[in-house]
Structure 1
Amino acid sequence: MTAQHIRIERLGAIERITLARPEKRNAQNKAMLEGLDAALKRAEFDDEVHVVILAADGSSFSAGHDNKELGDDYLQRPTVERYQFEDRYYLEIALGIRNHSKPVIVQAQGACIAGGFMLAAMADILVASEDTYFSDPTVLLGSAAVEVLFHPWALGDRLARDILFTGRNLTAAEAYQRGFVTRLVARDQLEAAAMEIAETIGKAPPFAMQMMKRSLNRNLDAQGYSVMMSAHFDTHQLVHTASKNTASAAERLANFKSIVAGN
């Protein structure tokens, strides 16, 4: 099955969803995000699916949200319009991976920038090739990180501050050392490694697996994970509003685009 910029394959008990916009380094436009959301929901309610793989065509997993589609005037749009759009397309869909009832494996390569980093971070298991890197340089856009503040939970507080304050790249090797990447493999072994894990998970009783994931998520939620994600999203929107009232907003957007293009 194929949606716009999304390819869906059924491999036994495995549903593989592939971001399929390689010519744009899988930049997430509205059509791709709608297709991803539909595919995740389809897998959610299909009892034959026990595990999901989220993969990507081309050199990169995802270079983030498609700022070109948003337009140069995006930061100048009404606050409510921008809030509702990002809530629906960025926050809800990303957390839809984290809160999916079934285990989700992300198979990442190359660039995982901003919104791409965010999608990868929602995985239960993150398999990455050695050339993968992660980056959230959104502070250079005048933004307080991406819409989901997963960084201190997934990386630890000190490393999160380092990469968010500087916008530097986090290599796959460093991410693996920190436990963010759970399997690090050569590029030509990436698909096989993700499939091997998925096949193992797919053999387990699905209800037991789903309940285990639910308990693990609740463990984090009891520590404040979900409340913090909601609180940060509002902070993210506040900074958007503050940024749009500065003369340098367009300049920062252009600078951010050049950084993403060069990464």
Structure 2
Amino acid sequence: MTAMNPQAASEPVVLYEVQDGIATITMNRPRYHNAQNSKMTYALDASFRRAVDDDAVKVIVLAGAGKNFSAGHDIGTPERDAHETFEREHLWYDHVGKPGAEAQLVREQEVYLGMCRRWRDVPKPTIAQVQGACIAGGLMLAWVCDLIVASDDAYFQDPVLQMGIPGVEYFAHAFELHPRIAKEFLFLGERMDAARAQQMGMVNRVTTRAALAAEVRAMAAKLAAQPRLALALAKQSINHIEDLRGKRTAMDAAFGWHHFAHAHNQLVTGNNLAGLDAKAMAAANKAADAKDGSR
């Protein structure tokens, strides 16, 4: 077992800053490419709540420290805390100690699907500032934001079919992308670069990594000058249209199939991720990238 870095454990997993009406929430596990453990997820939730409660905050920016925005859920760092109890934000009971597939279903209803839905419905405009990798669970964090600005070296990927899972818990693929492109994205698990993501309508703007923060800040400043209630109502209107098109019910169905896959994996392989961990997934991705590059 890898020993935990005491310094890393003492650092806040999420940073929070407000300047000129713009709250910047920064995931701060760069050593692990901002992989999301429960501690980070609850810290993100607290930061979104703090920004909503502060009348001085007009716009919220979600960023990731270091090289990458987020490599997804924490499935293998020394600080993985999937078996720990936290003070919950929804009315689901504690997952710890529950038998069979129940524990994972309850936990993911809280920290993944439930949290993402909360953040998507924040009444203030949100911008995802994406650089480098935005993989699997990282997609969920970008997708809940109203706008996505990416660096030209950013890429987006949901490779979890390798684990026998039909996609991440906040299953927005066919709303972020045309259904045929969403199938390609999921079936092949290949990286989608920022330029194509913008072409497909998933990303609003692409800039250089050096200019990324300034581009996001300029956009946020324009949003901050808009009337607060009008922004909230416009956001609610568009979110409502998405839900009328079936976004919420589609996610409910996909979440059920997601957990059927976890339970099937456990029965067949003895592991709900089909025996794969973070290192195995990273190795598989590198092998696939090398194969693509040799064509």
- In which range does the TM-score fall when normalised by the shorter chain? over 0.9
Q: 1:162 to 1:248 in 2, by over 3 A?
A: farther
**1:4–1:31 Cα contact (<8 Å) kept:** no
Q: 1:226 aligns with which of 248, 256, 273?
A: 248
Task: Please give the TM-score of this superposition, normalised by the length of structure 1.
Answer: 0.93
**1:140–1:256 Cα contact (<8 Å) kept:** no
Q: Which of the two has higher C-alpha Rg?
A: 2
Distance 1:260 1:102 in 2: 35
**1:44–1:101 Cα contact (<8 Å) kept:** yes
Distance 1:139 1:37 in 2: 28
Deviation at 1:239, TM superposition (A): 1.2
- Match for 1:28: what amino acid? Q
Q: Partner of 1:253: helix, strand, or coil?
A: coil
Distance 1:253 1:120 in 2: 27
- Match for 1:185: what amino acid? T
**2:39–2:81 Cα contact (<8 Å) kept:** no
1:1-263 matched pairs, under 5 angstroms: 4-68=12-76, 69=80, 78-247=100-269, 249=271, 252-254=274-276, 257-260=279-282
Write the deviation string for residues 93-145 of structure 1: whole angstroms up to 9, x where unpaired.
22222111111100000001100112111111000001101110111011110
Structure 2 unmatched runs, 5+: 1-9, 83-98, 287-295
Distance 1:87 1:250 in 2: 16
Deviates more, 1:209-218 or 1:41-50: 41-50
Aligned Cα root-mean-square deviation (Å): 2.2
Deviation at 1:259, TM superposition (A): 2.7
Distance 1:17 1:3 in 2: 15
Deviation at 1:238, TM superposition (A): 1.2
**1:67–1:257 Cα contact (<8 Å) kept:** no
Deviation at 1:78, TM superposition (A): 2.0
Deviation at 1:256, TM superposition (A): 5.9
Write the deviation string for residues 6-45 of structure 1: whole angstroms up to 9, x where unpaired.
0000012111100011111001011111100100111122
Q: 1:255 to 1:218 in 2, by over 3 A?
A: same
Distance 1:26 1:142 in 2: 24
Q: 1:38 to 1:161 in 2, by over 3 A?
A: same
Moved over 2 A (4+): 247-263
Task: Please give the TM-score of this superposition, normalised by the length of structure 2.
Answer: 0.83
The share of aligned pairs that are identical, in percent, is 36
Structure 1 unmatched runs, 5+: 72-76
**2:72–2:134 Cα contact (<8 Å) kept:** yes
- Match for 1:198: what amino acid? A
Q: Give the structure with the larger helix fraction.
A: 1
- Match for 1:149: what amino acid? F
Q: 1:44 to 1:79 in 2, by over 3 A?
A: same
Q: Which residue of 1 aligns with 2:96?
A: none
Structure with more relative contact order (C-alpha pairs < 8 Å, separation 6 or more):
1
Q: Partner of 1:245: helix, strand, or coil?
A: helix
**1:113–1:260 Cα contact (<8 Å) kept:** no
Q: Partner of 2:226: helix, strand, or coil?
A: coil
